[in-house]
Structure 1
Amino acid sequence: MTEESHMPDDTTAGRGQLNRRNLLRIGALAGAGTFVGLPLLGACSVDDGSGSDSGADAGSGQKVIGNGITEKKQLAPFDFNGPAGEKPNLPKRIAWANTSDAEFFLQITSAIESAAKSRGLEFTTAIANDDSAKNVEQIETFLQRGIAALCIQPLDANAQAPLMKRAIEAGAAVLSLVTPPSTSQVVADQYKVGNAQGLAAAKYITEKLGGQANVVYFNTDTIEVLKARHQGALDGLKTAGPGMKIVSDIQPPAITQDGGFKAMNTIMQANPDVNVIVGGDTYCLGALSALQAAGKARPEMYLSGIDGDEQALAEIRKGGAYKASFAFAYPLMGYAWGQFAADWLEGKPIPQVMQFNAIELNSAATIDKYQADMKAVTETWKNSAEYFTMLGSIRYQDREQFINYAA
């Protein structure tokens, strides 16, 4: 297992940042809609047969916490000034079970580490390289060492869920991107995200392409919660009218730029006149490379992605075929996780749900603002309502109220 451990010290506290590397970029993750009535991810709901009783000692210092909150409910706005309660006796260590060395995961890593160091916490991480078995092994190692908080994103929800519940029972905060069970779950209204992307593409089609478009949509339906994004995008695209034709709606063979490149090469053989491509940034950047290699990339085309990938933003700045990316504030999320881990150790409340807004980046001006905010997360954190809404409240002493559904 490859693991990095970063201990805080007087010279690095508050300013530790990992060096950026030249990474293979993927982009396809974030959560399901918070209150839009989406089906529950039943496979992610943990039932150990203990019922709903809480407060009993499970042995080894763990608390029997039941099944948590298993049905969707309205959550009140989070109050940063809520009263503190019992403090856990846990190592001052936060772990990030990273699954990929993709760019936006690296941004999350840097931000968690920065916040952890600013609050005097040890930061440890490991990358599973999209290997579910390795991911589970790495999480097991974190739990054996002892942690105050586990940061995690979806790779294999069925395999991860029991480990996540074990962490909660042991007293740790589980800070998750999408996947339950979790103490604090980061989500986005995926239908709304996809619909915004589809509507923006439809607007371009009607205003710049005379209502005529051969469209490729790259989906990621193997991630259950992203099916809502898929439907939202299709509904948005349909508003362009009858001249809009979806010639291909597929998931590439891998969530990588190479996957998008290969898929686009195949699509072009049957549909050489594609002029609109919509999907995640990773797929769309690969598709752009395929168009360029074939000599088919033209400025009047419309490509848009999701995730705010740095390479996508660079393409948008050029004013060519890549027109927009819908970004999530991943660095701000990572910074929040580090802060919440420290608050948890102090017995303070943290939000049960962090709901992200996707920000459309379609010009140099919008990109400049977004990038400035993400580089200054310490300051942006103080006024983060533009990027996400925090809901609900949970502390160490009432951790049996963990969320056990896809929020």
Structure 2
Amino acid sequence: MRENPFGRARMDRRDLLRLSVFAGAGLALGVPLSACSVDSGSTSDSGASGGTKPVGNGLTTKQTLAPFAFGGAAGTKPGIPKRIAWANTSDAEFFLQITRAIEQAAKERGLEFVTAIANDDSAKNVEQIETFLQRGIGALCIQPLDANAQAPLMKRAIEAGAAVLSLVTPPSTSQAVADQYKVGNAQGMAAAKYITEKLGGKAKVVYFNTDTIEVLKERHRGVLEGLKTAGAGAEIVSDIQPSAITQDGGFKAMNTILQQHPDVNVILGGDTYCLGALSALAAAGKAKPDMYLSGIDGDEQALAEIRKGGAYKASFAFAYPLMGYAWGQFAADWLDGKPIPQVMQFNAIELNSGTAIDKYQADMKAVAETWKNASTYFTMLGSIRYQERDQFINYAA
């Protein structure tokens, strides 16, 4: 295993494979699944027998959705496998948190869980989703990698009767979203406050964007507008997207930036990028306590850095583990014919102290208990059941 400059070993691929396979699921990267179609059953929508049903284009324009109410009446149950699939695209820690939470909920509700990691390879991601569909699934959990390539498969799953539970991209029966401009603006404003109060209004700023994901362009805009409040002394010397959504991607990008801008002292972006950048700073002997690094996602490694009181000052966390647990619960409800929310809206929580981190981590470790008060972290909107799957969300909510 390769050691990074902080002495932490990067996770061995074998460990990822171990995490990627639920006991008895029989799925690992590159291992073919048995031939069993997601739409096995009749060829028409015939109630519990399952079957593919054309669902049209779904809801293509933004809707005003009513608050979701738990305990709604159950309808037709889909006659499809009680199996939930997670099409993971990266080994970033927050994605692995989601994996563990989905697995926990699936086990509690008697569902089989399968997953695979595409390592930011769009072609592999599509191949893995195809494999899930061929084997047969009752729910597909998915996050964006190549939305254009993923969308036809997501719609196929919906037509076959499966719940599609997505992170920020349509088409889906339930879409987890955040106000990306608001999240980015909060990150930018917090950095501007530090620049003004601690750096005398002068800073060399690096921002790592993820503009290949369309909805995150609003986060980008929010960060830049938040930074403007620090005044002209906050100079953005680099605004780029690293080659991969990994710590190694952030490490390589930061190494290149340091060659031209060795006096960088503020770095913003996702936690995965920023942790890689911190490693690059340490390797170059340039990591200093008065720097300001902040990420988004609430990565466990980022939170550990914040506790140290060094350069890493904050992470804006989403309740990813709770979202994963919700996906497992909603998959089971869907298979019981019960309604699930069309939109799960969550806000980022600024974690900039040990006290804030302690509360957040306790809640994320006890997701089954936290689920009883999910409204603390999510606002759930709309309602959809298997028999109403033609009302799937087909816009970025």
TM-score normalised by length of structure 1: 0.85
Deviates more, 1:269-278 or 1:386-395: 269-278
Matched with 2:13 is none
The CA deviation at 1:266 is: 2.0
- 1:120 lines up with 2:97 in the alignment: no
Choose the corresponding residue for 1:176, options 138, 142, 166.
Answer: 166
| 3-state DSSP of counterpart to 1:239 | helix
Check the 8 A contact 2:78/2:161 in 1, yes or no: yes
1:260 paired with 2:250, answer: yes
RMSD between aligned alpha carbons? 1.7
Q: Give yes or no for the alignment of 1:207 onto 2:197.
A: yes
Q: Secondary structure at the match of 2:322?
A: helix
The residue correspondences of 1:301-316 to structure 2 (distance < 5 A) are 301-316=291-306
Match of 1:218 in 2: 208
Shift of 1:112: 0.5
Is the contact made by 1:78 and 1:393 (CA closer than 8 Å) also made in structure 2?
A: yes
Matched, 1:375 2:365: yes
1:290 aligns with 2:241: no
Counterpart position of 1:61: 51
Q: Tell me the residue number matched to 1:342.
A: 332
Letter matched to residue 117 of structure 2: I
* Corresponding position of 1:17: none
Q: 2:261 aligns with which of 265, 271, 286?
A: 271
Extract unaligned runs of 5+ from structure 2: 1-16, 26-43
Higher relative contact order (CA 8 A, sep 6+): 1
Aligned to 2:39: none
**In structure 1, C-alpha distance between the alignment counterparts of 2:261 and 2:388, rounded to whole Å:** 57
Tell me: CA distance 1:60–1:380, structure 2 relative to 1, closer, same or farther (3 Å).
closer
Partner in structure 2 of residue 250 of structure 1? 240
1:12 aligned partner: none
**Cα distance between partner residues in 1 of 2:287 and 2:120:** 31
SS of the residue aligned with 1:176?
Answer: strand
Q: Which of 374, 384, 394 is matched with 1:394 structurally? A: 384
Q: Distance in 2 between matches of 1:249 and 1:99?
A: 24
The answer on whether the counterparts of 2:120 and 2:245 sit within 8 Å (CA) in structure 1 is no
Partner amino acid, structure 2, of 1:183: T
Report % sequence identity.
Answer: 84
Q: What CA distance in whole angstroms lies between the structure 1 residues aligned with 2:330 and 2:243? A: 36
- Counterpart pick for 1:167 among 157, 163, 169: 157
Contact 1:306/1:326 (<8 A) preserved: yes
Q: 2:349 aligns with which of 318, 341, 359?
A: 359
2:349 is equivalent to residue 332 of structure 1: no
The Cα offsets for residues 147-179 of structure 1, whole Å up to 9 and x where unpaired, read as 111111111111111111111111110001112
SS at match of 2:230: coil
Q: Distance in 1 between matches of 2:237 and 2:82?
A: 53
In the comparison of the two structures, how many residue pairs are matched? 359
SS in 2 for 1:384: helix
8 Å CA contact retained: 1:6, 1:124: no
Q: How far off its partner does 1:60 sit?
A: 8.7
Corresponding residue for 2:66? 76
Q: SS of the counterpart of 1:77? A: coil
Q: 2:313 aligns with which of 304, 323, 327?
A: 323
Report the 3-state secondary structure (helix = DSSP H, G, I; strand = E; otherwise coil) of the residue aligned with 1:100: coil
Residue 36 of structure 2 corresponds to none
Cα deviation 1:328-358 (Å, max 9, x = unaligned): 1111000000000110111110000011110
What CA distance in whole angstroms lies between the structure 2 residues aligned with 1:144 and 1:252? 34
CA contact 1:191–1:229 (8 Å) conserved in 2: yes
Determine helix, strand or coil for the equivalent of 1:64: coil
Secondary structure of the equivalent of 2:61? coil
Contact conserved, 2:22 with 2:103, CA < 8 A, in 1? no
1:195 matches 2:185: yes
**What is the Cα deviation at residue 210 of structure 1?**
1.4
Q: Secondary structure at the match of 2:77?
A: coil
Shift in CA distance, 385/56, structure 1 to aligned 2, threshold 3 Å: closer
Measured after TM superposition, the shift of residue 253 of structure 1 is 2.3
What corresponds to 2:394 in structure 1?
404
Which SS does the other structure have where 2:206 is aligned? strand
Aligned equivalents of 2:318 and 2:211: distance in 1? 19
CA deviation after TM superposition for structure 1 residue 5, in Å? 4.6
SS in 1 for 2:133: helix
The reply to whether residue 4 of structure 1 matches residue 34 of structure 2 is no
Indicate if the aligned counterparts of 1:97 and 1:135 stay in contact, CA closer than 8 A. yes
Aligned counterparts of 2:244 and 2:79: Cα–Cα separation in 1: 42
Point out where structure 1 has 5 or more consecutive residues left out of the alignment: 9-54
Normalising by structure 2, we get a TM-score of 0.87
Does residue 169 of structure 2 align to residue 152 of structure 1? no
The answer as to whether partners of 1:175 and 1:182 remain within 8 angstroms in 2 is yes
1:107 aligns with 2:124: no
Compute the displacement of 1:316 (Å). 0.3
Q: List structure 1 segments (4+ residues) > 2 angstroms apart after TM superposition.
A: 2-8
Shift of 1:7: 5.0
Q: CA deviation at 1:232?
A: 0.2
Quote the Cα distance in structure 2 between the aligned partners of 1:283 and 1:160: 24
Take 1:386 and 1:274, find their aligned partners in 2: how far apart are those partners? 37
Q: Is the 8 A contact 1:357 1:386 kept in 2?
A: no
Distance 1:7 1:208, change over 3 A: same
